[in-house]
């Protein structure tokens, strides 16, 4: 990767190519709040084409989905925490270069701050996912009213930023699902979305480590978790550049999570 100055220039050029506006520098983020675990039990439970603007979304199942609509050899690429003015355009370019569609789980405040990027994601044929307003990984310990506000407000922010395209999924920050949050999201047409493989890219362990994690765990299931915000995501971009062709070579195809 180029230095910071070169990367900023590259991001601006790439953003222009995608029809979006680049913003210099990295967006400040809440590193301390971000979690990666999906496996903890829900609180209060045992361990366990987009709708048109103005049309009420039909309810979907409330169970946490992992399966791919691409079938038994399908994989779902999911990208969390953006959009980010530097890294989202780079992730979009890698996906475009490889002919891959992904699901972008967006934080409401990020979507509101960067509507051109949300529109670029939609225009490229990717899907949107509600990742709450503030990425509170402890929200499963908060009131139902708080959870509802986080989900509903983020849905509104993302829909407005996209120009009317609603998110089709809901992913709880850090896997902090509860029965009430799942049923609320599902009632609004957003299927709760889990993951099978955490690439650990958020920890920035190095590109080789990210690639090795995915290759070693690909048999765990079809839904892969990456990030396009929360700091320097150059390792994620480099890992995707290596992993997407490798997955194709292994006979996998790319799809979306089933709804």
In a structure prediction context, what are the per-residue pLDDT tens digits for the chain, which is 259 residues long? 333 333 343 343 334 334 433 333 333 333 333 333 343 344 444 333 444 344 568 999 999 999 999 999 999 999 999 999 999 999 999 999 999 999 999 999 999 999 999 999 999 999 999 999 999 999 999 999 999 999 999 999 999 999 999 999 999 999 999 999 999 999 999 999 999 999 999 999 999 999 999 999 999 999 999 999 999 999 999 999 999 999 999 999 999 999 9
Check residue 147 and give its pLDDT.
98
Which is the catalytic residue, given 80, 81, 84, 228?
Answer: 80
The domains found in the chain, sorted by start residue, are: 60-255 (3.20.20.370)
pTM over 0.75: yes
* 162, 128 contact by CB (below 8 A): yes
Check residue 111 and give its pLDDT.
98
* 64, 177 contact by CB (below 8 A): yes
Does the annotation mark 81 as catalytic? no
- CB burial of 42-77 (b: ≥16 within 10 Å; e: otherwise) equals bbeeeeeebbeeeeebeebebebbbbbebeeebbbb
**Closest to 196 in 3D by CA, of 164, 165, 219:** 219
CB contact set of 201 (below 8 Å; sequence gap of 6+): 210, 226, 227, 233, 235, 236, 239
Which is the catalytic residue, given 81, 136, 227, 228?
Answer: 227
Does the annotation mark 232 as catalytic? no
């Amino acid at each position: 990767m180029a230095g910071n100055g070169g990367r900023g220039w590259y991001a601006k050029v790439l953003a222009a190519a995608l029809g979006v506006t680049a913003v210099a520098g990295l967006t400040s983020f809440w590193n301390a709040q971000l979690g990666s675990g999906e496996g903890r039990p829900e609180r209060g439970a045992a361990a366990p084409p987009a709708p048109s603007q103005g049309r009420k979304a039909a309810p979907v199942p409330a169970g946490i989905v992992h399966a791919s609509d691409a079938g038994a050899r399908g994989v779902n690429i999911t990208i969390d925490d953006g959009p980010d003015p530097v890294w989202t355009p780079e992730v979009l370019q890698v996906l475009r270069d490889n002919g891959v569609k992904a699901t972008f789980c967006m934080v409401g405040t990020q979507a509101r701050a960067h509507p051109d990027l949300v529109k670029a994601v939609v225009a490229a044929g990717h899907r949107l996912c509600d990742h709450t307003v503030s990425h509170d990984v402890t929200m499963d310990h908060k009131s139902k009213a708080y959870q509802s506000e986080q989900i509903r407000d983020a849905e509104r922010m993302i829909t407005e930023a996209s120009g009317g395209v609603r998110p089709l999924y809901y992913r709880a920050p850090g896997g902090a699902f509860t029965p009430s949050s799942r049923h609320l999201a599902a009632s609004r047409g957003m299927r709760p979305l889990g993951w099978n493989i955490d690439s650990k890219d958020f920890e920035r362990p190095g590109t080789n480590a990210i690639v090795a994690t995915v290759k070693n765990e690909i048999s765990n299931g079809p839904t892969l978790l990456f990030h396009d915000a929360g700091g320097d995501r150059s390792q994620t971009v480099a890992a995707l550049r290596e992993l997407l062709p490798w997955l194709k070579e292994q006979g996998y195809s790319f799809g979306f999570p089933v709804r």
